[in-house]
Every structure is written in structure tokens, then in C-alpha cells.
Chain A
Amino acid sequence: GQQLNQSPQSMFIQEGEDVSMNCTSSSIFNTWLWYKQDPGEGPVLLIALYKAGELTSNGRLTAQFGITRKDSFLNISASIPSDVGIYFCAGPAGNNRKLIWGLGTSLAVNP
């Protein structure tokens, strides 16, 4: 079945550093979604991407829909302590009623 490979699994960075994470798939996706989960909370949608090559920003976050439609990247610039959490990528399954999820990238920021 479809799988999303998300890397790195975890990151430990200093406040102010830039962060980059990615998600790859063995099959094509028509939509890529990036979520963030704060500790003890449900995931919240950060960015949605709908077109190959699309580059979309949300504040200090920038995500790109890969040209091959098999990957996506999320960058965070000038990290701050509140960026701590788990970042998930996701894409719709065949009938668009379900999402396929990556296993997440856990981000820790040292102030």
C-alpha cells in the first residue's frame, strides 16, 4: 500500500536555526498536507499543497510540492521555542476519504 517516509525522525536545534524536513512516497500524490502536533494536543494543519512545484508559505514556514509529485519539503526559518512538536506530512488515499500519514519529525528547540 501507499506509504510516506518522513525524515529526519527527530531534530535537536538551537533557537534561531533554520529547519528542513522532507517526506517521500513511492507513489504519486495530488495533495500534500503538513501538520504540527503540540504535546498533548491534536495535530493542526499548517500548509496544504495542491500543485506540483507549488511553493507555499505560512509565516516562517515554507513548504514545497515536489515536481515528481512523490515528495514534499517543509522548512522553518529562525526557529523559536514554540516550534517544538511533531511535524507530520500526509496525503489523500485513493478515494480521498482517508489520509496516509508519515511517522512524523520530532523537533526540539534549545532556547
Chain B
Amino acid sequence: SQTIHQWPATLVQPVGSPLSLECTVEGTSNPNLYWYRQAAGRGLQLLFYSVGIGQISSEVPQNLSASRPQDRQFILSSKKLLLSDSGFYLCAWRGDLTWGEGFYGYTFGSGTRLTVV
């Protein structure tokens, strides 16, 4: 079965410090991978997605970057965090959860709560 791992669960970082969040998927190959941010418990904002190794699509210009060094690894980074980078970061992969034919739903990780102080 497929599983998605995201860590750390909670992170408190000072303004100006670097960031690295990691997400890995097991039990599948060549998944589509996604990074989302959620502020104040509402609204999922797509930050980046990747359809393959080294392929990154950026949705929102910001202080963050993403990389996919391996097929099932997706990393979210920042060189210098801002206060506005605080939020709940979610990694997801496009899987095969279907009740029938058609589009496949996403499976989300358990998230990282980032607080920039």
C-alpha cells in the first residue's frame, strides 16, 4: 500500500533562518507531488507541484522553492524565512483513490505546522 511521510510535524524558526521540509512517498512510482500551504485553518493554497524528477511548477511567487531530487521525494525550502511564511504546510501525492473511473484524488500527509518568530 502507498504511504506518504511528512516531517517535522511542528517547527518554530526565527525570521531570516533557512527552511527545509521533506516529503516522501512509498509504494508507488512516478507520482505527481504537491506542496500546499494553509493559513488560519482555512483555504488550501497550492505552492508547487511536480510531475517528475527535477520538474517543478511554481504556482505563487514567494519566498519559497521546491525540489524533487528523487522520484518519491519532494522538498520545500527557503533561504530566509519571513513572518508571513508561517502556516500549515501539506504535502500530497496524486494517487489511485477512486470509486469508479476518472480523476484520481490526492492523498495528503499529516502536515507541518511552521511558526516563524
Contact = CB atoms under 8 A, between A and B. Distances in A.
B102 A40 contact: no
A103 B42 contact: yes
Contacts of A40: 111, 113
A45 B105 contact: yes
Interface in B99-116: 99-103, 105-111, 113
- Interface footprint category on A: 20 to 34
Interface in A73-111: 86, 88, 92, 96-99, 101, 103-104, 106
Contacts of B113: 40
Interface stretch (B62-70, B72-80, B90-98): B90-98
Given A33-B105, A86-B41, A99-B106, A48 B49 contact: no
A44 B107 CA distance: 7
A55 interface: no
Contacts, number: 65
Nearest to B4: A42
Nearest to B107: A45
Interface string A4-34: 0000000000000000000000000011010
30 contacts: A30-B102, A33-B103, A39-B41, A40-B111, A42-B6, A42-B90, A42-B92, A42-B109, A42-B111, A43-B44, A43-B106, A44-B108, A45-B97, A45-B107, A48-B97, A48-B99, A48-B103, A50-B100, A86-B41, A92-B103, A96-B103, A97-B51, A98-B34, A98-B49, A99-B46, A99-B106, A101-B44, A103-B42, A104-B43, A106-B41
